[in-house]
Structure 1
């Protein structure tokens, strides 16, 4: 499996070329591609486990959901998705590094597929001693930054060992006040970019008001590193948009696969694709 070769991925009316080793995407849309139609999602959001070593009050996952994946079943499902045309997998949960055998799974898929593998983590399990098992196997590691967690230790490990990483920040009124200083600290630690997620929980005192939205747009404009804004903000922020609309394209550009193996549209799609490949 050569990750230095571009993979072609059909979109509706366009062709996407993806380079797994670097993460470069090239989209071509012209008369020759007008008849193309999407055959597979681009990314699988894979809930490898529902277990987590933290208990954040804002976490949106269903804590009662079981964790049913093994290394063998996860690898088989993801190989099927790869063979059906999926380009990338982003592990989440739960805390992916709490999954037993995670290093084995990542290594197996690195050997048997050209999937670009990414992971979102709270960073508490990342240190110099454990990282060699994962070195060179992830495209992007995304650190979810929470107060009271040693994110800087994880950042220093990732930067020191040459791993590209970005940060996820949940924005509420308290985080907005400290955001400029945190963005400076992230840039100094080697962060590549920041994803800003809107707090949508039940505590109304944490929700941003109109003046907060304006302040957030100013902080994004002044940020020392690139910021990406969740579609959950809608059109509230006066910031440049790469794409029009507020559709995150769930189910088309990406699919979510749960930790308990239920409601797996993508997994069923992968099994069918795998069976077809075996009969050819």
Structure 2
């Protein structure tokens, strides 16, 4: 059980179950607020064996040293961060992934999540991560022909991997929403239900140098689908990019870098994984870089 102090009160979190309780009747003085972001995502490598046209992750070679990751996690844990999310690239290409996850489990109170395309998972990887990873997010952009066209892998192969992951970990599905996938959302939600997913996360496509991102028409179709959805799998959305949907804000005062930050595989701290402004995490650590980034964003 971990406690985080902030402007909304005392946040109680259990990483084993994902259980959250906010004691919002308690006013916490500002000088006692936890200094770390509530959640930090870390790209452990830029390497990926897929070539999705809408991917915005950097393509140059980079990977975070395992010793550095462990130092960052120890610092973030002491600063009140509740969890880290490892991604990339494809995090299963990172050779030290089992050791880094085991460090988090044994030496910190951080919850560990992974975001993966799922195709590299096997019984050996499952055994090496079981007990050290609390949640696995699998990227599923469309189903059947749509998935195969966008991801370049067979859909039956994905289903096999989803079964393996869901049998051993709490699992959620991620879906990039664009003109190719928005009409598949009902089928993706049905897949999430079949695979006993805990959540379906909708990720409106981000613009890149080659693509404009999700258009207003796509966002409108997504909004209409969400309003009509009555399935059992909870829905989440990455950001309100022009959306008209009502968004639940359980911690409305804990926003911006107090809520979330990202560290890329080159060791730069950013507000999000697609932000162009970054600060190198040096020997002074993550919190020092966080203060520098806050100053840069305020300038």
- TM-score, structure 1 normalization: 0.82
> Is the CA contact 1:200–1:207 (under 8 Å) kept in the aligned structure 2?
no
Matched, 1:77 2:72: yes
Residues 131 and 227 (structure 1 numbering): CA distance in 2 closer, same or farther, change over 3 Å?
Answer: same
> Is the CA contact 2:4–2:10 (under 8 Å) kept in the aligned structure 1?
yes
> Is the CA contact 1:231–1:246 (under 8 Å) kept in the aligned structure 2?
no
Offset of residue 198 of structure 1? 0.9
1:59 to 52, 55, 58: 55
> Is the CA contact 1:180–1:223 (under 8 Å) kept in the aligned structure 2?
no
1:226 to 234, 244, 257: 234
Equivalent residue number for residue 165 of structure 1: 171
Matched, 1:132 2:127: yes
Offset of residue 268 of structure 1? 4.4
Residues 133 and 33 (structure 1 numbering): CA distance in 2 closer, same or farther, change over 3 Å?
Answer: same
| Total equivalences in the alignment | 263
Offset of residue 33 of structure 1? 2.9
> Is the CA contact 2:83–2:110 (under 8 Å) kept in the aligned structure 1?
yes
Cα distance per residue 1:114-137 (max 9 Å; x no partner) = 111111111111123321111122
- CA root-mean-square deviation: 2.9
Residues 117 and 214 (structure 1 numbering): CA distance in 2 closer, same or farther, change over 3 Å?
Answer: closer
Offset of residue 49 of structure 1? 0.9
Equivalent residue number for residue 215 of structure 2: 207
Matched, 1:43 2:39: yes
> Is the CA contact 2:6–2:254 (under 8 Å) kept in the aligned structure 1?
no
Cα distance per residue 1:54-90 (max 9 Å; x no partner) = 11110112212x4242222211221122122222111
> Is the CA contact 1:77–1:267 (under 8 Å) kept in the aligned structure 2?
no
Matched, 1:101 2:107: no
Residues 71 and 231 (structure 1 numbering): CA distance in 2 closer, same or farther, change over 3 Å?
Answer: same
Offset of residue 212 of structure 1? 2.0
How far apart in 1 are the matches of 2:140 and 2:170?
Answer: 16
- The DSSP-based 3-state class of the residue aligned with 1:130 is helix
Instruction: In structure 1, list runs of 5 or more residues that go unmatched.
Output: 1-5, 274-280
Offset of residue 32 of structure 1? 4.4
- TM-score, structure 2 normalization: 0.78
- The DSSP-based 3-state class of the residue aligned with 2:236 is strand
> Is the CA contact 2:204–2:214 (under 8 Å) kept in the aligned structure 1?
no
Instruction: In structure 2, list runs of 5 or more residues that go unmatched.
Output: 142-146, 269-278, 290-299
